């Protein structure tokens, strides 16, 4: 791996007394797409949410171990969570645009982070182009975002993340609410974003994992069982559990 962008070391997570993540160690390479796969409830989303401190407000969540973004200790209380989330953005399962216009969905974060006012229109245009949405919305930027189709809303949510120029984008099953055509569009978009961002994506869709990822991490019951190139995970897994899962024998 050329350059490690994001990593977890000896990561344990407990909800109350129940241990959900067990000693996770993983390095994500810069400008790589990594899929997290595994049966329902194995902890994929919980792990993803650790990377940008989404558990901060869950009173019953306890995290041990470290997460690093380059040299930065993500859980060092000196680092405000808003800054962490600017650098490590997130896209959720269901498109969740703000109940505002298309334009305001993008200007919102830029204003919070005090980007210069005169740069905002240009940044919004670039983010919409980068997210394959510009041509469809350029003449109706004042339209309420909720009036877009589901697939367009998800591309808007991706644009809302990239407009802040993050380093990492976390995606939690971003296509699960979409039809096959919208899904393909988002997959193409994810592939095109790889040149600028490091992407970690939770997916249930094995074909999707094969189509878009450089590396795949297979989790089972809170443990990271195997982490390797996409080709090795699907064609030549080292672990019996991985083989059974990607072979469709359980999950």
Ligand X SMILES: Nc1ncnc2c1ncn2[C@@H]1O[C@H](COP(=O)(O)OP(=O)(O)OP(=O)(O)O)[C@@H](O)[C@H]1O
Nearer of residues 31 and 45 to ligand X, judged by Cβ: 45
Residue 41 as a binder of ligand X (CB under 6 A): the answer is yes
DSSP 121: H
Q: From the list 10, 25, 58, 229, which residue makes contact with ligand X (rule: CB under 6 A)? A: 58
> What minimum distance in Å lies between the beta carbon of 229 and ligand X?
22
User: What angle (nearest 5°) sits at the alpha carbon of residue 48, between those of residues 50 and 111?
Assistant: 75
Q: Angle, to 10 degrees, between the axis of helix 180-193 and the axis of helix 150-162?
A: 10
Asked if 15 interacts with ligand X (CB under 6 A), we say yes
Q: Is 20 in the site for ligand X (CB under 6 A)?
A: yes
Selected from 45, 66, 126, 244, the binder of ligand X by CB under 6 A is 45
Cβ 17 to ligand X, closest distance in Å?
Answer: 11
Is 40 among the residues that bind ligand X (CB under 6 A)?
A: yes
| 83 makes contact with ligand X (CB under 6 A) | no
> Should residue 120 be labelled a site residue for ligand X when binding is judged by CB under 6 A?
no
Let me know the angle formed at the C-alpha of 194 by 123 and 39, rounded to the nearest 5 degrees.
Answer: 120
Q: How far is the CB of 44 from ligand X (least distance, A)?
A: 4
- Shortest distance (Å) from residue 40 CB to ligand X: 3
Among positions 32, 37, 44, 190, the unique one binding ligand X when judged by CB under 6 A: 44
| Count, residues near ligand X per rule CB under 6 A | 11
Count CB neighbours of 219 within 10 A: 25
Q: Is 174 in the site for ligand X (CB under 6 A)?
A: no
Residue 92 or 115: the one with the smaller Cβ distance to ligand X is 92
- What does the binding site for ligand X look like in residue numbers (CB under 6 A)? 15, 20, 38, 40-46, 58
């Amino acid at each position: 791996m050329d350059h490690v962008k994001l990593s977890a070391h000896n990561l344990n997570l407990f909800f109350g007394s129940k241990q959900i993540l067990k000693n996770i160690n993983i390095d994500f390479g810069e400008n790589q797409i990594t899929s997290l796969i595994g049966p329902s409830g194995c902890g994929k989303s919980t792990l993803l949410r650790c990377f940008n401190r989404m558990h901060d407000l869950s009173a019953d969540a306890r995290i041990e171990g470290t997460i690093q973004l380059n040299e930065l200790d993500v859980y060092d209380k000196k680092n405000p969570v808003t800054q962490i989330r600017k650098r490590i953005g997130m896209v959720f399962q269901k498109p969740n645009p703000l109940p505002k216009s298309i334009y305001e969905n993008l200007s919102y974060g830029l204003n919070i982070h005090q980007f210069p006012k005169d740069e905002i229109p240009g940044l919004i245009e670039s983010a919409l182009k980068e997210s394959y949405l510009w041509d469809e919305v350029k003449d109706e930027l004042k339209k309420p975002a909720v009036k877009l189709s589901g697939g367009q809303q998800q591309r808007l949510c991706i644009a809302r993340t990239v407009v802040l120029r993050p380093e990492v984008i976390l995606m939690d099953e971003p296509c699960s609410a979409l039809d096959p055509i919208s899904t393909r569009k988002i997959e193409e978009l994810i592939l095109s974003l790889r040149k600028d961002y490091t992407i970690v994506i939770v997916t249930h869709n094995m074909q999707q994992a094969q189509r878009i990822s450089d590396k795949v991490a297979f989790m089972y019951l809170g443990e990271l069982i195997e982490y390797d190139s996409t080709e090795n995970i699907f064609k030549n897994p080292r672990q019996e559990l991985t083989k059974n899962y990607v072979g469709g024998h359980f999950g």
